[in-house]
């Protein structure tokens, strides 16, 4: 397995272009199953997760062609016919988001057999809300031997669905299924994350009638068929926030381009409170810290527009060097503070109790061998390594490759002392 070695202490100076959003791209790819015509996705990130989903879609009958267009990497997906409605345990276990093919398969062909994803390192992560939404749309759902058998022989029917929790995945899944249902669907207490808007925009470009995405109430007027379209994947807000934090941690000045600041405003506000300079511009933002002391801040993760859970780990890395005590509460996932013991290996002073971490800033971190448990935890260790004295070796970096395109290249281009050490063997998904 590959490892990443970082020699800390180098200030970052330069520009980092932000890629298309992983979390959006994989749902948009699943949307391509809804039509026999071609969906062209531009600004596509090239990641282990998108490659993996491409392979799964091919097994279901999708032609997947990757190319580089005028505006960077793009993927053309065309499914003239669904040749299989089956997603095996092995596939869904390796990438949870594979589960999202269930709704589109059901909507297009009236049946699907998809493995339940099971738990993962950041928590139990059930899919009960996804299944309830599909049942509300008229699907018959049976669970046998770890598989979801879903059937809607006479098609799905619009329904009113009130989510008990504003789940990102369940809202997207309901949208993906309801666009081809007969009649109107009303989703209330929906997730409001910007990825909802990206998915709705793409579906609408394909002929769907979705309104209200990005608010808690989404209205979908079902249509009988969708057609091909071209859609640009939104910029990755988590990648944006992560590199902003990397620049703050290492010090220096980094301009993040091809992105936006508004969709991570809650985190930017906390960075500013911590004493980091953030200058928004048309095409992104500049992050600057020239020797200023970092101040400890308190925050808790929340659904959008609150502080994103995916930026909690990297922000904790920054707080390890802040002046004072920072209190960080994780409210979205029950087991998402597993990076704390690894940060402690680098010399951080962190006490975890339940879903809360108390981080007392230390004067410096010291490089060590560390191991990442999931994607966002891995990148928090890289960020810590940028400021640690000596060498930090991050093991099990396959997690990073799932969600960050050319991470070490992007950071090295700004002066970070970071390199990949090639190993062999593949890992499994978190
Ligand atoms: C998505 C993102 C992930 C992000 C998360 C929250 C993708 C591929 N992943 O994950 O990066 O951290 O949103 O912003 O887009 N839950 C249930 N039952 C369900 C569904 C969810 O109990 O049926 C619970 C989960 O266990 C979790 C919480 O709801 O505790 C949030 O999950 P959800 O918003 O669905 O996140 P994901 O879609 O899994």
In whole angstroms, what separates CA 188 from the centre of its chain?
A: 23
Where in the chain are the domains? 3-19+235-421, 22-222
CA of 167 from ligand 1 middle (Å) equals: 6
The CB of 194 under 6 Å from ligand 1? The reply is no
CA of 246 from ligand 1 middle (Å) equals: 25
The CB of 289 under 6 Å from ligand 1? The reply is no
pLDDT confidence of residue 30: 98
CA 305, CA 288: separation in Å to the nearest integer?
Answer: 24
CA 424, CA 143: separation in Å to the nearest integer?
Answer: 37
- CATH classification number, 3-19+235-421, choose in 3.65.10.10, 3.40.50.300, 1.10.3720.10, 1.20.140.10: 3.65.10.10
Q: What is the CATH number of domain 22-222?
A: 3.65.10.10
Query: Of 120, 192, 202, 414, which one is the catalytic site residue?
Result: 120
**Domains 3-19+235-421 and 22-222 fall in the same CATH topology:** yes
Scanning the structure block, which residue is given the tokens 């970096």? Answer: 397
CA of 267 from ligand 1 middle (Å) equals: 19
φ/ψ (deg, to 5) at 181? -80, 160
CA 46, CA 284: separation in Å to the nearest integer?
Answer: 21
CB 45 within 8 A of CB 258: no
**One digit per residue, pLDDT tens: the chain, 430 residues?**
889 999 999 999 999 999 999 999 999 999 999 999 999 999 999 998 999 999 999 999 999 999 999 889 999 999 999 999 999 998 888 888 899 999 999 999 999 999 998 666 666 678 999 999 999 999 999 999 999 999 999 999 999 999 999 999 999 999 999 999 999 999 999 999 999 999 999 999 999 999 999 999 999 999 999 999 999 999 999 999 999 999 999 999 999 999 999 999 999 999 999 999 999 999 999 999 998 899 999 999 999 999 999 999 999 999 999 999 999 999 999 889 999 999 999 999 999 999 999 999 999 999 999 998 888 889 999 999 999 999 999 998 888 888 899 999 999 999 999 999 988 644 444 3
Structure tokens at 104: 């589109």
pLDDT confidence of residue 372: 82
pLDDT confidence of residue 424: 62
The CB of 165 under 6 Å from ligand 1? The reply is yes
pLDDT confidence of residue 376: 86
Check if 120 is active-site: yes
Residues across the chain: 430
């Amino acid at each position: 397995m590959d490892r990443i070695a970082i020699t800390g202490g180098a200030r970052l100076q330069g520009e980092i272009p932000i890629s298309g959003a992983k979390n959006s791209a994989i749902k948009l790819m699943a949307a391509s199953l809804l039509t026999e015509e071609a969906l062209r996705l531009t600004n596509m990130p090239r990641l282990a997760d998108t490659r993996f989903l491409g392979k799964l879609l091919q097994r279901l009958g999708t032609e997947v062609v990757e190319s580089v267009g005028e505006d960077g990497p793009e993927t053309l997906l065309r499914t003239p016919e669904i040749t299989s409605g089956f997603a095996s345990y092995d596939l869904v276990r390796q990438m949870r988001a594979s589960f999202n093919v269930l709704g589109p398969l059901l909507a297009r062909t009236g049946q699907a057999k998809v493995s339940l994803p099971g738990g993962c390192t950041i928590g139990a992560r059930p899919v009960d809300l996804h299944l309830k939404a599909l049942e509300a749309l008229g699907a018959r759902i049976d669970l046998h031997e770890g598989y979801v058998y879903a059937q809607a022989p006479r098609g799905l029917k619009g329904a009113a669905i009130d989510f008990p929790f504003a789940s990102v995945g369940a809202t997207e899944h309901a949208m993906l299924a309801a666009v081809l249902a007969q009649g109107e669907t009303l989703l209330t207490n929906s997730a409001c994350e910007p990825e909802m808007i990206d998915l709705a925009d793409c579906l609408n470009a394909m002929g769907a009638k979705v309104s209200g995405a990005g608010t808690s109430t989404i209205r979908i007027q079902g249509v009988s068929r969708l057609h091909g379209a071209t859609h640009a994947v939104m910029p990755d807000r988590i990648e944006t926030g992560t590199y902003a934090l990397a620049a703050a941690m290492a010090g220096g000045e980094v301009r993040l381009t091809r992105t936006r600041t508004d969709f991570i405003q809650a985190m930017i506000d906390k960075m500013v409170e911590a004493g980091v300079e953030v200058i928004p511009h048309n095409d992104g933002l500049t992050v600057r810290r020239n020797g200023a002391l970092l101040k400890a801040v308190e925050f808790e993760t929340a659904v959008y527009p609150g502080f994103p859970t995916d930026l909690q780990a990297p922000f904790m890395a920054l707080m390890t060097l802040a002046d004072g005590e920072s209190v960080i509460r994780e409210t979205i996932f029950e087991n998402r503070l597993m990076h704390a013991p690894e940060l402690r290996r680098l010399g951080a002073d962190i006490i975890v109790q339940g879903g809360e971490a108390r981080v007392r800033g230390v004067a410096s971190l010291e490089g060590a061998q560390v191991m990442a448990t999931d994607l966002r935890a891995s990148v928090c260790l890289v960020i810590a390594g940028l400021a640690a004295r000596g060498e930090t070796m991050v093991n099990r970096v396959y997690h990073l490759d799932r969600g960050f395109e050319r991470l070490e290249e992007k950071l090295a281009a700004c002066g970070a002392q970071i390199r990949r050490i090639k190993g062999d063997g593949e890992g499994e998904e978190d």
